[in-house]
Amino acid sequence: MPARKKGSEVPVPDPSWKGLYAAGSLSALVFVILVIVPLALVFAVPQPSAGGGAALLGYIASNKVVYLVELICFVGLSVPALVVFLALPLALKHLDRTPAALGALLGISSEVIALAVGSSPQSLHGGLVLLSDRFAAAGTEAQRVAFSTAAEGLMASTNAVSWAGILTAAGILVLSLAMRKGLFHKAVAWIGIATGALGIVSEALRPLAGMGYIVYGLLLPAWFVLVGLKLFALRR
């Protein structure tokens, strides 16, 4: 049964999960850091030109550390997101169990899929690092063309529709619908609803999303910050 405040009939989150709330709060912070670091590198370090696979492989060979940091951060942020998508539904289940359970299912499934396929935005893929090494060591033009063509195939797959991203946005949308019933400020709930709805469209139409994807990329860490702050308060 959900805990209740003394002298009140308003249920409050189960305090026995305060350790998980604390872990969720810390994980939300880690998630945001893992978003900020590669974004900072994007603006601080020259990025590859739009010259296709050959240009990208040459860029990776010359900036391998930067590329690997971006890849690890964007793929690795699924780990703290998993903890947040576990902690948040437990904080919301006293309000409405159905969206809390569905949100947990969607969110956790999305991050598991993202880790399994190495899903990330931009042209980030572990296989491109290996191809860049072989491209740099190629002795003939035919070999370089072959590696460049393979790289363009991987680039196309990473920039295509992301089902993991769609499920993440759907999880945020469903959980934010539950937030409207209490615990979180309604403004936070509506930010989450906007983030989830825009995220579903942006991920489904990633090649065409343009500015919409950039706005979603800003709303996503903002939502995690707001959720993390509330989970931090709930740990007490």
In tens, the pLDDT along 181-220 reads 888 889 999 999 999 999 999 888 876 767 777 888 899 9
Give the number of domains in the chain: 1
Contact status, residue 120 vs residue 74, Cβ threshold 8 Å: yes
- Between strands 11-12 and 3-4, the pairing is antiparallel
CA dist 27 and 80 (Å) reads 5
Contact status, residue 157 vs residue 144, Cβ threshold 8 Å: no
Task: Please indicate, yes or no, if residue 2 is contained in any of the structural domains.
Answer: no
Contact status, residue 20 vs residue 92, Cβ threshold 8 Å: no
Q: Which residues are within 8 A (CB) of 207 and not within 5 positions of it... i.e. 6 or more apart?
A: 159, 160, 161
Q: What is the pLDDT of residue 1?
A: 43
Q: What is the pLDDT of residue 8?
A: 45
pTM of the model: 0.82
Q: What is the pLDDT of residue 160?
A: 60
Task: Using alpha carbons, select from 156, 161, 236 the residue that is nearest to residue 206.
Answer: 161
Task: Please indicate, yes or no, if residue 32 is contained in any of the structural domains.
Answer: yes
Averaged pLDDT of the chain: 84
CA dist 162 and 205 (Å) reads 9
Task: Please indicate, yes or no, if residue 8 is contained in any of the structural domains.
Answer: no
Task: Please indicate, yes or no, if residue 1 is contained in any of the structural domains.
Answer: no
Domain boundaries, position 57: 16-234
The letter for the amino acid at 211 is M
Task: Please indicate, yes or no, if residue 6 is contained in any of the structural domains.
Answer: no
Structural tokens at position 33: 């850091």
Q: What is the pLDDT of residue 44?
A: 82
- Cα–chain-centroid distance for residue 20? 20
Task: Using alpha carbons, select from 197, 200, 235, 195 the residue that is nearest to residue 218.
Answer: 195
Max CA-CA distance within the chain?
A: 80
CA dist 152 and 3 (Å) reads 55
Q: What is the pLDDT of residue 11?
A: 63
Task: Please indicate, yes or no, if residue 148 is contained in any of the structural domains.
Answer: yes
Task: Please indicate, yes or no, if residue 3 is contained in any of the structural domains.
Answer: no
Task: Please indicate, yes or no, if residue 178 is contained in any of the structural domains.
Answer: yes
Q: What is the pLDDT of residue 121?
A: 62
Residue 4, H or E segment: strand 3-4
Q: What is the pLDDT of residue 161?
A: 59
Helices (H), the chain: 18-44, 53-62, 64-76, 78-92, 97-117, 126-137, 141-158, 163-179, 186-204, 206-209, 211-234
The letter for the amino acid at 184 is F
Q: What is the pLDDT of residue 6?
A: 46
Q: What is the pLDDT of residue 5?
A: 47
Listed as ranges, residues in the chain with pLDDT below 70 are 1-11, 49-51, 118-123, 126, 157-161, 207, 209
